[in-house]
Amino acid sequence: MLWLLVLHIVALLCWAAALLYLPALIAAVETGRAQISEAEAPLHHASLARFIHTHVATPAALVAIMSGTGIFLLERTAEVWLVAKLTLVTGIVLCHALTGVLILHAGRGTAGWTRLWTWLLAVTLCLLMATVLWLVLAKPPLEAPQWAQ
């Protein structure tokens, strides 16, 4: 059981680090693209962002979700804070998908609002991750709504 928890935490750290790094990398790629002419632009300018997204962030997310599911099944925890945490993790997964969309748009050179979207994405990810961390560490005694009881 302990090895599963360690695997979950390590995967979460890798996933979170990659997701927090990618918005800055996407914005930097777009800034660099704006400063050089189209003829000088490399063919795969977003290849580092795409590599990190597909080979670091996505596998780490899958391992984190699978190991978290294993912990949930072994411990059989069904408290309200856990449901709230899983809801926030769903938001992080959606941000993960939005990061992929931004990488694709940056790769095509069609992202006009990239800096704004990457900034909003980074702030949203920070808030979601901080709230998840607080829920896991504090395990507040939340009450289920009347309709859920």
- State residue 56's pLDDT score: 96
Residue with tokens 């790629």: 29
CA distance 57 to 48: 12
Secondary structure element (H or E) that encloses residue 139, with its range: none
Check residue 45 and give its pLDDT: 47
Whole-number Å distance between alpha carbons of 29 and 107:
9
pLDDT digits (tens, 9 = 90+) for 50-71: 999 999 999 999 999 999 999 9
What is the distance between the alpha carbons of residues 74 and 113, in angstroms, rounded to a whole number? 44
Q: Are 50 and 74 in contact (CB under 8 A)?
A: no
**pLDDT beneath 50: ranges in the chain:** 39, 41, 43, 45
SS3 73: helix
How confident is the model at residue 19, as a pLDDT? 96
Distance CA(127)–CA(88), nearest Å, equals 10
Which tokens belong to 19?
């997701």
For residue 32, which of 88, 137, 109 has the smallest C-alpha distance?
109
